[in-house]
Amino acid sequence: MTDDSSHDHGKGGHAGHNHGAGASTKRLTIALGLTTLFLIAELIGAFVFDSLALLSDAAHMFTDSAALAIALAAVKIGQRPPDDKRTFGYRRFEILAAAFNAILLFAVAGYVLVEGVQRFFDPRPVESVGMLIVASLGLVVNLISMRILAGGKDDSLNVKGAYLEVWADMLGSIGVIGAAIAIYVTKLNWIDPIVAIAIGLWVLPRTWTLLRDTTHILLQGVPRGFDLQAIRTAMNEVEGVTGVHDFHLWSVAGDDASLTAHVALTEGADAEATRRALAEMLESKFDIHHATIQTETEPCGDEESLHR
């Protein structure tokens, strides 16, 4: 066996993460300020006008604020460099924050559903005009926050989680506006809990998607968009390679990919030249910038390991 374990990194990869983190920090800070200020006004309005739909929207606004605060803290912590205890750094904290946000949304949606069913059978009078004014202001704040976060949602699951929180709350504001108008026209107070329940049911599938994606990363799953078999086949096609085993591909924070593999060489193949050819192929063809490849003249382990 030739122990030629080494890794290649893409140029400027770390700097790119820092640049993205800085942009995310600015977006999250502005959105957090807007959302927190309006949360106070919406909570007051929910109790003054006795509207469950408005309270449901305020609950989502609260999770927005919590999600944005957690996301902001996660980005800042994620910027810390690797150390002797955490060799991959702290970027995984962003995924933990996104998972926590999803769980928080599930809890809020559950509360609203239960309370909505109870109020459907025991409707309370609702001041629709005040409810309409507060919800309209909330919609404006949500639209501004969404616009701010939209630029970073495709680069970070953490920012995506915060964006989904605000997006869900925007739908909630629209629902509350519709409910307020309907109650004003028809005087039917049971419309309020119906809208609250609808908001909760609308949010759940999106929340599940976020929780599924974060769980996949935490379980070291293959990053989205990568075909493991295609990568293995391409590696086997590189000159000097006779087999690939102990093959793993995972992501730390959702916007990166790390690969490790043992590569068996053909007789007479140059280990260093083959390793470099593999690293260059992985970077150019699959956009994998962090690859740790160990070359071997004889496969290690038993026959089963050759297929893993």
Q: Distances from the Cα of 112 to the Cαs of 28, 64, 202, in angstroms? A: 26, 16, 12
Tens of pLDDT, residues 3-24: 444 444 443 344 344 444 555 6
Backbone angles phi, psi at 243, to 5 degrees: -175, 155
pLDDT at position 121: 79
13-218: CATH topology is Alpha-lytic protease prodomain-like (1.20.1510)
**β pairing state of 6-8 and 290-296:** antiparallel
Averaged pLDDT, 27-46: 81
Mean pLDDT of the chain: 79
Scanning the structure block, which residue is given the tokens 């927190």? 36
Backbone angles phi, psi at 272, to 5 degrees: -65, -45
Tens of pLDDT, residues 251-284: 887 778 899 999 999 988 899 999 999 999 999 9
**Where do the domains of the chain lie?**
13-218, 223-307
Q: 11: helix, coil or strand?
A: coil
CATH architecture for the domain at 223-307: 2-Layer Sandwich (3.30)
pLDDT at position 3: 46
Tens of pLDDT, residues 102-144: 887 788 778 778 877 887 777 777 788 888 888 888 888 888 8
Q: Which residues of 173-197 are buried (b: 16+ CB within 10 A; e: fewer)?
A: bbbbbbbbbbbeeeeebbbbbbbbb
Answer whether 228's CB lies under 8 Å from 288's CB.
Answer: no
What are the start-end ranges of the H helices in 122-227?
A: 128-150, 157-186, 191-218
d(CA 40, CA 37): 6
Amino acid at 224: R
If one counts every other C-beta atom within 10 angstroms of the C-beta of residue 118, the result is 11
pLDDT at position 21: 53
Tens of pLDDT, residues 187-234: 888 888 888 788 778 778 877 888 888 899 888 889 888 999 999 999
